[in-house]
């Protein structure tokens, strides 16, 4: 399994739209705590991704990277508010239906490689010393993988992303290796 990241290109935007807006993915997003009206608000955000794809990395304040598994796009990662540590967050999304797994060892194995690769991509491309990630407390798989990679949450925060109801998230701080 070979995982790496590359910066977003215009042709990737349709895949990200499909991930968020395809009706076949709605149950998945609802299970993660997203509400349909919040997902619909993303419709007006595609211009942001077009602008990112056209902006040189050095000039970006937020950036999206595409997850490549053996050369094929299978997800995306976002680093928001790159130079504002109090607001900065990294998110990782694996597109549904792109990877077939026989059991849970498949996703865990992929995340074991994808999380450090996403962090390395952003550290290599931006002059930040740390990256913040928040994972829903109920997202057992991501939290397990992070803890097995040696990361521990710094705190638990109540926050909301795609929902009107705040829920507990574990906040992780990932430091640049020097």
Please list, in sequence order, all residues whose beta carbon lies within 8 angstroms of the beta carbon of residue 11, skipping any fewer than 6 positions away. Answer: none
Mean pLDDT, the chain, integer: 90
d(CA 145, CA 154): 16
- DSSP structure string for 68-95: EETTEEEEEEEEESTT-TTT-EEEEEEP
Q: What is the pLDDT of residue 160?
A: 86
Question: Which of 68 and 107 is assigned the larger pLDDT?
Answer: 68
Bridge partners, 167 (sequence order): 159
CA-based nearest residue to 112, from 170, 151, 72, 74 = 151
Q: What is the pLDDT of residue 109?
A: 84
The fraction of the chain above a pLDDT of 90, given in percent, is 66
Helix (H) or strand (E) holding 117: helix 105-125
Contact (CB, 8 A) for 60 and 4: no
d(CA 77, CA 122): 10
pLDDT digit string (tens) for 85-136? 999 999 999 898 777 654 335 678 888 999 999 999 999 999 999 999 999 9
Contact (CB, 8 A) for 144 and 138: no
Query: What would the mean pLDDT of 40-59 be, rounded to a whole number?
Result: 91
Q: What is the pLDDT of residue 35?
A: 85
Lowest mean pLDDT among 26-30, 52-56, 76-80, 84-88: 26-30
Question: Which of 124 and 32 is assigned the larger pLDDT?
Answer: 124
Pairing mode, strands 72-80 and 63-69:
antiparallel
């Amino acid at each position: 399994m070979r995982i790496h990241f590359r910066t977003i290109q215009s042709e990737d935007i349709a895949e990200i739209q499909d991930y968020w807006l395809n009706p076949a993915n709605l149950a998945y997003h609802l299970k993660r705590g997203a509400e349909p009206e919040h997902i619909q608000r993303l419709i007006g955000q595609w211009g942001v991704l077009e602008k990112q794809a056209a902006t040189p990395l050095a000039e970006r304040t937020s950036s999206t990277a595409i997850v490549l598994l053996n050369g094929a796009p299978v997800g995306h990662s976002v680093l928001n508010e790159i130079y504002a540590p109090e607001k900065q967050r990294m998110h990782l999304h694996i597109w549904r239906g792109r990877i077939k797994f026989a059991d849970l060892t498949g996703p865990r194995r992929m995340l074991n490689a994808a999380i450090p690769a996403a962090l390395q991509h952003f550290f290599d491309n931006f002059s930040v010393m740390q990256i913040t990630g928040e994972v829903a407390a109920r997202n057992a798989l991501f939290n397990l993988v992070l803890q097995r990679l040696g990361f521990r949450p710094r705190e638990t925060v109540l926050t909301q992303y795609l929902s009107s109801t705040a829920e507990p998230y574990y906040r992780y701080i990932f430091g640049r290796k020097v």
